[in-house]
């Protein structure tokens, strides 16, 4: 449960956090922000446009960068978080049948905590020019 709950915690935190940044820094409207977190698809039966939420991977790889200018997808915190999300998906979708180890559970918690701290500090300090490790924040 620790892996699933850690991932849910991050997903529950990141969207309101990014919405806040878009309102605060970009002066975006709620309607503009809503569109960021939705993907337009065609309903094959009615040929009408429908909207579905974007995947968490798109949020952390594209929307975080667009909102903050920080290349989160290039830092170690992202790699650890991505491993947690992959493990969560494998558990939820039945690809992983054996129990999560104590180490995996702690890693899940730690990866989410480190990601939240890093992204919060990037926002607070306004420093998006380098990653935590000092690498240039370029795509």
Query: Is the separation of the CB atoms in 138 and 71 below 8 Å?
Result: yes
Residue-wise pLDDT tens digits, 21-58:
999 999 999 999 999 999 988 888 888 888 899 999 99
User: What integer pLDDT is reported at residue 1 of this predicted model?
Assistant: 86
Beta bridge partners of 38: 53
- The DSSP output letter for 95 is S
Enumerate residues 6+ apart whose C-beta is below 8 A from 66: 36
Give the pair of three-digit tokens for residue 127.
């420093």
Q: What is the pTM of this model?
A: 0.82
Share of the chain above pLDDT 90, in %: 68
User: What integer pLDDT is reported at residue 87 of this predicted model?
Assistant: 94
Check pLDDT > 70 for residue 139. Answer: no
Higher pLDDT: 8 or 43? It is 8
Beta bridge partners of 39: 52
Check pLDDT > 50 for residue 138. Answer: no
Residue-wise pLDDT tens digits, 48-78:
888 899 999 999 999 999 999 999 999 999 9
Higher pLDDT: 79 or 47? It is 79
Give the pair of three-digit tokens for residue 102.
């104590």
Query: Is the separation of the CB atoms in 88 and 76 below 8 Å?
Result: no
The number of angstroms, rounded, from the C-alpha of 137 to the middle of its chain's C-alpha atoms is 17
């Amino acid at each position: 449960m620790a892996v699933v709950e850690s991932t849910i915690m991050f997903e529950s935190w990141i969207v309101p956090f990014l919405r806040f940044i878009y309102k605060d820094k970009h002066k975006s409207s709620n309607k503009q922000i809503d569109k960021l977190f939705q993907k337009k698809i065609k309903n094959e039966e009615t040929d009408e446009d429908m909207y579905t939420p974007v995947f968490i991977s798109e949020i952390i790889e594209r929307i975080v960068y667009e909102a903050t200018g920080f290349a989160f997808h290039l830092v170690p915190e992202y790699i650890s978080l991505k491993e947690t999300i992959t493990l969560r998906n494998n558990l939820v979708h039945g690809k992983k049948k054996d129990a999560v180890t104590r180490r995996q559970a702690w890693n899940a918690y730690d990866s989410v905590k480190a990601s939240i701290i890093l992204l919060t500090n990037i926002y607070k300090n306004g420093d998006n020019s380098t990653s935590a490790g000092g690498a240039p924040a370029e795509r």
